[in-house]
Amino acid sequence: MTLLGWIIFIFALLFSIMLHEFGHFLSAKKFHMKVTQFFVGFGQTLWSWTRGETEYGIKAIPAGGFVKIVGMTHLEEVEVADEPRSFSRQPGWQRMIVLAAGSFMHFLLAFVLLFILAVGIGQAANSSQATVGAIEPCVPKTDTAVSCVKSDPASPAVKSGLRTGDKIIALAGRPVHTWDQLGAAIRAQPAGTPVPVTVLRDGHRLTLHPSLATVHGRNGSYLGISQAVVYRTAGPITAVRYAGTEFGTIVTGSVSALGDIPKAIPQLFAKDRSSTAGGNVTSVVGAGEYTGEAFSAPVGWQTKVTVVLFIVISLNIFVGLFNLLPLLPLDGGHLAVVIYETIRSRIARLLRRPDPGLVDIRKLLPVSVGVFVLLVGFGLLLILADVVNPVHIPQ
């Protein structure tokens, strides 16, 4: 299941990359710019085919993608016949749309997935019934522990054979009907001695005898089960509202994560990384690990799909926002240059002076290379941190 989670994440990542580049491609074609290449990946070409004036294909390193539009920079020589359709010859507003279209596709994908989540799976709410939603794999050392370690003993629920979906109808000989009643009954039992627990499983009555445990910082005994979750689907209008609200919440969290990056760097290799800003910043390796853990977690399929979708949604929103940062060579950096050119041109027109024309991007090349090296270095640092000091999804 962990491998399946990784496969799904990689597919979702490649699809997001392709969608990003398709945003540039579609908007450039809409404005009749000449697009010569549309590739997913970098490096050696594995497969390609040409239709019309555009070559489509896949390259060996699936670490991004690109769309080549004629005349994107001064570094490119443009044939005289292609000048009227080159990127640099188009109005500023058209170039802005083309540059922003990649991030827009990330945002659109995130919104659509949130809508599908609301109408197809539904919003989660705790069930009031005494039904087991998940089995905790271990007895944590403290009540605040977020994941299990090898030295933690198996939980009483695991040892006794309790399963997700079991409906507990009695504990220690006393009937229970709600989750609150069950919780109170568990806490009231002494730890270390077997307690009869009667469950309904697939229509059959079954009695198990777990020995409850104690957890430091927790009142009462510990069985190791989580409350069942029910999902209530929404209509189209409610789903749109839900998608808008969740989208705004994730944007706020992503902006906060971007702001936390400087102070997160020293915390990436800290023992308590998960409780610091360093736990909120991760690489594609960390995101893939989250997805794998979500699929291997002992929860229902609706919870698995919800968690995975939120990982994909959050990743797309974060990447979309990050790509709009006014730093070359990001799209946001090129967008800032076009905005500057447009403002400078309008001021010159108001002052009845000649149009100063385009910014010589060659002068900004050292800055672009420096930012690129910094981003690559930071990306490799994140990958290293996620390999040697990963942050796990709380179980």
Write the pLDDT tens digit of every residue in 196-226. 999 999 999 999 999 999 998 888 999 999 8
Closest to 380 measured CA to CA, from 276, 314, 284: 284
pLDDT > 70? residue 394: no
Q: Give the pLDDT score at 277.
A: 64
Separation CA 286–CA 338 (nearest Å): 35
Longest dimension (CA), the chain: 92
- CA geometry: angle 295, 298, 299, nearest 5 deg: 80
| 197-201 vs 167-171, strand pairing mode | antiparallel
3-state secondary structure of 135: strand
Separation CA 153–CA 378 (nearest Å): 38
Average pLDDT for 265-280: 73
Backbone angles phi, psi at 178, to 5 degrees: -125, 165
With pLDDT > 70 as the criterion, what percentage of the chain qualifies? Answer: 96
Neighbours of 2 (CB within 10 A): 15
Backbone angles phi, psi at 259, to 5 degrees: -70, -25
Check if the beta carbon of residue 91 is closer than 8 Å to that of residue 338.
no
Question: What are the structure tokens assigned to 361, written together?
Answer: 């991007």
Average pLDDT for 235-240: 94
Could you write out the DSSP letters of every residue in 208-231?
E--B-B--BT-SS-B--EEE-EEE
Backbone angles phi, psi at 278, to 5 degrees: -65, -20
237 versus 229: which is more confidently predicted? 237
Q: Name all domains of the chain by residue range, CATH numbers in brackets.
A: 132-227 (2.30.42.10)
pLDDT > 70? residue 278: no
pLDDT > 70? residue 6: yes
Q: Which of 21, 246, 289, 341 is catalytic?
A: 21
pLDDT band at 146 (very low <50, low <70, confident <90, very high): low
Strands (E), 228-383: 229-232
State yes or no: is 21 an active-site residue.
Answer: yes
User: How far is Cα of residue 286 from the mean position of the Cα atoms in its chain?
Assistant: 10
Mean pLDDT of the chain: 88
295 versus 80: which is more confidently predicted? 80
75 versus 59: which is more confidently predicted? 59
With pLDDT > 90 as the criterion, what percentage of the chain qualifies? Answer: 54
pLDDT tens across 308-355, in order?
899 899 999 999 999 999 988 899 999 999 999 999 999 999 999 998
pLDDT > 80? residue 238: yes
pLDDT > 90? residue 30: yes
